[in-house]
Amino acid sequence: AAAVSQVTVRDALNQALDEELERDERVFLLGEEVAQYDGAYKISRGLWKKYGDKRVIDTPISEMGFAGIAVGAAMVWLRPVCEFMTFNFSMQAIDQVINSAAKTCYMSAGSIAVPIVFRGPNGASAGVAAQHSQCFAAWYGHCPGLKVVSPWSSEDAKGLLKASIRDDNPVVMLENELLYGVPFEMSEQAQSKEFVIPIGKAKVERQGTHVTLVSHSRPVGHCLEAATVLAKEGVECEVINLRSIRPMDIETVEASVVKTNHLVTVEGGWPQFGVGAEICARIMEGPAFNYLDAPAVRVTGADVPMPYAKILEDNCIPQVKDIVFAVKKALNI
């Protein structure tokens, strides 16, 4: 049997950056604290020592500035990886991400490519209040010209980051700070230097027959936990890890809904115009709608800016019990 080892999401991302910096000299990393400090979250640990000042660059606290430098570099065919200390701070640079990066290929009739990756933690961490806890999957997923990926496991993190760096288009990679230290099993194949996960393909993490759970990022873990709880009561959940927000693999979701006849979406972001709302609309407009035996149910973050107090925070983020409740509502049990 092939060797399987436990690797944290942090180490998987570090591995991906190391391999891609080594593979292509046009790749470079920039952002706050990425070099001498080894990264605010230690994602870039050891890379500055190994590759030096030209490839791993500490920037001032000026998101619009360094994102702009990165986009300019991508336009002349370097391959920057631009780290935001949290995606909440990408608000400072959203003009660069959308107007300078996402729209340029189209506006230049395909003559200017922008091969750039914007990456960093997205969504709620713990105890950091509203300005550090927002999920931007729906914001960036809204915009044509961008690809948006949202990994859950170490394998997702490595395969999607490598695919993003190699892609000739701007990619937004939404990681999760609370997953960085979590170990996942990684196959020998996933640890090879040529392992990439194609952008736009969801993964069925658990087979089931009664209800389809669709999620991305950290809530995928919650869905699997809820599935374990529900299995004890005879309810078999099929859990889908979206992995990619844009393009969205609606075919995998449709195939599952045709099988289970029920749909629950789960996300950490806000309800209005969210990822779950988009999935529900696509299912309603597509061939799987006639297979639904009940209305789809969304599980989302609460419709408020994230509170600081822990008890309030816990009530704002979807928990396993919320998913179990939603499944029972969908199945009318």
Place of tokens 């029920």: 262
Cα three-residue angle 81-123-171, rounded to 5 degrees: 30
Among the listed residues 136, 135, 179, 134, the one whose alpha carbon sits nearest the alpha carbon of residue 158? 179
Residues involved in catalysis: 63, 132
Note the helical H segments in the chain: 9-23, 47-51, 63-75, 94, 104-107, 137-141, 154-166, 219-231, 250-260, 275-285, 310-316, 320-331
* Residue 54 exposed, middle or buried by CB count within 10 Å (0-12, 13-18, 19+): exposed
- Distance (Å) of CA 162 to CA 108, 116, 197, 223: 26, 12, 8, 26
Strand bridging mode 244-246 / 147-149: antiparallel
